[in-house]
Amino acid sequence: MPEIRVPRRRRFLVCEPRHFAVQYAINPWMDPDVRVDVALAQQQWRTLIRAYEDHGHTVDTVPPVPGLPDMVFAANSAVVVDGRVFGSLFHAPERRPESGYYDTWFKAAGFDVYRPENVCEGEGDLVPTGRYVLAGTGFRTTREAHREVQEFLGVPVISLTLVDPYFYHLDTALFVLDEENIAYYPDAFSPGSREVLARLYPDAVLGTREDAMAFGLNSVSDGHHVFISPRAEGLAAQLADRGYLPVPVDLSEFHKAGGGIKCCTQEIREIRS
């Protein structure tokens, strides 16, 4: 029988896609000539927020800003561990103004924000697992930023090298299932990084390229429910066999910009009492 999984309530930070568009190309998914249906994107985004709230999670919202179409991808804004906020310094000049607006929100909410000296794209490349922060590099976040993260958060940082430009952020190729396990797409990583992941997580759920291209590895788990792309059917079946409950949410409009469920979701990990 599948193991019994226990959900944990989460606090998420999101940004409405009121100004979402593909106006430039900074990853292989983006084509400015492809039209974005903003009304559909807003509908899909609202469905995701309702799914979170229906499963007991708290959702806070950062106001969207005109001229910043990728601000909807809240995960890239920071990484928050035990109430400490490590902010972002985007690789692409087009996205750099986003950081200030997110910093303002965090400060107004009572958090201190650390400004990184090196290129770092928040939870896009920094994935807290409980024991470690798994940290991606190769396309966006630099290894120098990994060292900054470890010094600021005081949590061991495991550097992982991404090798496929379609999976330019760690959160497009890996997500945390619970405090003991992860799911990931092995071929997104260098050989050495695959060995590291296999040693750390011998029982991990392994996705296929088909799962990954469907943004199935860009998912959010509360330890039981996994909010996942409906097109990642093989991965969803594996998760169900392990005792997780897939919650399909279609964010296909956001795939046009290289983003999905996790990209739209920043988790605020406050100090546990």
The contacts of residue 199 (CB under 8 Å, 6+ apart) are none
**Cα gap 75→29, rounded to integer Å:** 18
Q: Closest Cα partner for 68 from 34, 123, 18?
A: 18
State how far the alpha carbon of 109 is from the alpha carbons of 12, 123, 184, 217, 241, in Å: 13, 19, 33, 30, 40
In the annotation, is 264 catalytic?
Answer: no
In the annotation, is 263 catalytic?
Answer: yes
Check 57, 91, 225, 263 and give the catalytic one.
263
**Cα gap 261→258, rounded to integer Å:** 11
Q: Are 148 and 122 in contact (CB under 8 A)?
A: no
- The secondary structure of 86-99 as a DSSP string is EE-B-SSGGGTTHH
Q: Closest Cα partner for 182 from 199, 169, 168?
A: 199
Check 57, 91, 146, 169 and give the catalytic one.
169
**Positions marked active-site:** 169, 263
